[in-house]
Chain A
Amino acid sequence: MILDKRKAIGFSRIGSRAAYGMTLFELAEQYDDLMVVTADTSTSAGLDRFRKTYPEKYLDVGIAEQNAMGIAAGLASEGMTVAASTFAPFQTMRCCEQIKVNLGYMKHKVVFTGLASGVALGTLGYTHCCIEDMAIMRSIPNITVLSPADCGETAKAVEAALNHHQSVYIRLTGSSPNPPVYTEDYDFEIGKSVKLRDGNDVGIIATGSMVHPATKAAERLAEAGINASVINMHTIKPIDNEAVAQVCKNTKLLATVEEHTIFGGLGSAVAEAKAPLKNAPPQIMMGISDSYDKAGDYADILDHYGLTVEKIAQKIIDAYKNL
């Protein structure tokens, strides 16, 4: 899918969930054997138009995520191209063992997308937030984990995942509107991160909804005389080891930023990649601390956990000064 400014802005306005549904709608004709599986979440996934236009490619299994992932795997075992989706906690945790056995162990290929991951649904409470999915999905063999930075990248990730050789979990973060990181086309390749900015003092590696604030934080750092590079780590597994090694070689401090628990997600994956390197810089990990203690408006939760442009920049400045 080619991204242009009009598309990027349009997707940005509707948010990542609607961008997901619209992408499947646009790609539907390209896959004769496409099956879109939902668990009573067609509207939430922007799939209402798809549902009406392509009923033969659509299957709703009701609010039953274990069954959804079993059925998705059964369809995949017959060679169909399967895209399943529901809200992130139910898409990953409720049916975790179905994912392990059917997708990880048997390697039936399903693209499964966690809607509204992170804390975007904070007003609904933590039942509907998902700060654990990258950690859990990353631990299962034969699953690729993607975390797109914006809505345009969501579209690119969905297309790349449909054509990928193994199952892919796509984690959608952010709300609508969702500020675009990209407004023109670029090469999206699973497993290959994208450097958005150069800088030799600090390396910021961000994923999902945190890529945009990371770029803004880098601008603040520049104002404070600190040059930061910014990497969009859209693939959490397999992590881009080469990019991590490169940024470790060129900077004095590493910062990871994610809308996810600080355990097991981007920060952990980067730390694992960094562990064997000689003379690697120290790493500060920004994310949701180990708690469910603040629900409410999305912006308030992000602020509470230090995931705003100002707080990201300040934390990096403080750490940099203490080197």
Chain B
Amino acid sequence: MKNSTEIIENIEQMAANMRRHILDMALEAGAHSSHFGGGLSVVDITATLFGAVMNIKPSEPEWPDRDRFILSKGHGCLGYYTALHELGYISHDELLTFEKSDSFLYGHPVMRRDKGIEFSTGSLGMGMSLGIGVAVAAKRRGKDHRCFVIIGDGESNEGSNWEAAMAAPHHELDNLVVILDRNRHQQTGSNTEIMDVGDAASKFKSFGWHVEEINGHDAKALYATLSSRRTDGKPLAVVANTIKGKGFSFSEDDNSWHHKILTKSQYEAAIAELSDAGAKQ
């Protein structure tokens, strides 16, 4: 049994490794470009989920009792594929096929359960509903596994999210966890410029969710919040305050990195930053 310090260190190391892989993938994608900023903002969340919280068996991807994961903001897939790689679902060579013809790693996830990719996502506003279906199935069958869904704040513009936000507490789905990647940007600008979800925590709370608002890059806070199970019938909404493009000085909080080509010189500068931060090479 690892102590909590070791668990947090492992999550942080995994996140650093994932950021390194993201650089490799973004560089390899070349002119296809990649959703760099929104992938980096979820890395610490997915590292926590896959590295420490979720009950999963990488050797048996379709283990019936596994915790389920849905990346509703499918464009954040760089922060998903790299987590799957760290656990051994996807090889490094496969990571480098990202967005290439005949690859199974598209710019939005396409379902490959044998590779740990549970659902095809990317059309925004659909993941929470899928998660409710998964959570209802578990409840009706008396199963203990949980379902984790990551949504974006730009994604929260879609009305279908709020249909789901109403339904999950109504059906007492305390096995459902929704994490809002609150990076405060969307495709063509900041939330305040385009369409702001506003006080998301209050909105979820008013529908009957248990809500936690945390720093979405703080492994300790993420681990403490996401590893605690609820038994009171309330689904858990975690408003994770994040920074789009988190990890590299040139991309942090700069929305031009929503979808952008990574140049070789930017790649090298980023690698140097990671080395300075002590990441495993």
Interface residues in chain A, defined as those with a beta carbon under 8 Å from any beta carbon in chain B: 35, 56, 59, 61-62, 64, 66-67, 69-80, 97-98, 101-102, 105-106
Complexed CA–CA distance, A62 and B170 (Å): 10
On whether the beta carbons of B166 and A71 are closer than 8 Å, the reply is no
Could you list 9 examples of A-B contacts with CB < 8 Å? A59-B171, A61-B167, A62-B167, A66-B126, A70-B132, A74-B134, A74-B136, A77-B118, A102-B130
User: Closest approach, in angstroms, between the C-beta of A57 and any C-beta of chain B?
Assistant: 8
Complexed CA–CA distance, A304 and B140 (Å): 49
Query: Taking A35-B140, A62-B167 as contacts, is the C-beta distance between A67 and B132 under 8 angstroms?
Result: yes
Query: Taking A66-B160, A66-B163 as contacts, is the C-beta distance between A76 and B133 under 8 angstroms?
Result: yes
User: Closest approach, in angstroms, between the C-beta of B162 and any C-beta of chain A?
Assistant: 9
B131 at the interface (CB under 8 A from A): yes
B26 at the interface (CB under 8 A from A): no
Complexed CA–CA distance, A76 and B133 (Å): 8
B129 at the interface (CB under 8 A from A): yes
On whether the beta carbons of B134 and A67 are closer than 8 Å, the reply is no
Further contacts, 9 of them, CB under 8 A, given A66-B163, A79-B137: A35-B136, A62-B166, A62-B170, A64-B167, A70-B160, A73-B133, A74-B137, A78-B134, A101-B123
On whether the beta carbons of B130 and A67 are closer than 8 Å, the reply is no
Complexed CA–CA distance, A56 and B167 (Å): 17
Please give me the residue from chain B that is nearest to A75 by CB atom.
Answer: B133
B195 at the interface (CB under 8 A from A): no
Task: Indicate the member of A56, A71, A98, A105 with the most B CB atoms within 10 Å.
Answer: A71
Contact check: which of A59, A70, A97 meets B130 at CB < 8 Å?
A70
Please give me the residue from chain B that is nearest to A69 by CB atom.
Answer: B129
> Which residues of chain A have C-beta atoms less than 8 A from B133's C-beta?
70-78
On whether the beta carbons of B164 and A67 are closer than 8 Å, the reply is yes
Interface residues of A: mostly helix, strand, loop or mixed? helix
Contact check: which of A56, A69, A71, A106 meets B119 at CB < 8 Å?
A106
Complexed CA–CA distance, A78 and B138 (Å): 8
B215 at the interface (CB under 8 A from A): no
Complexed CA–CA distance, A237 and B199 (Å): 46
On whether the beta carbons of A75 and B167 are closer than 8 Å, the reply is no
Please give me the residue from chain A that is nearest to B118 by CB atom.
Answer: A77
User: Closest approach, in angstroms, between the C-beta of A166 and any C-beta of chain B?
Assistant: 15
Please give me the residue from chain A that is nearest to B119 by CB atom.
Answer: A106
Query: Taking A74-B132, A102-B130 as contacts, is the C-beta distance between A67 and B123 under 8 angstroms?
Result: no
Please give me the residue from chain A that is nearest to B147 by CB atom.
Answer: A74
Interface membership of chain B positions 118-153, coded 1 if the CB is closer than 8 angstroms to chain A and 0 otherwise: 111001011011111111111011000000000000
Task: Indicate the member of A61, A74, A97, A98 with the most B CB atoms within 10 Å.
Answer: A74
> Which residues of chain B have C-beta atoms less than 8 A from A105's C-beta?
120
On whether the beta carbons of A80 and B137 are closer than 8 Å, the reply is yes
On whether the beta carbons of A64 and B136 are closer than 8 Å, the reply is no
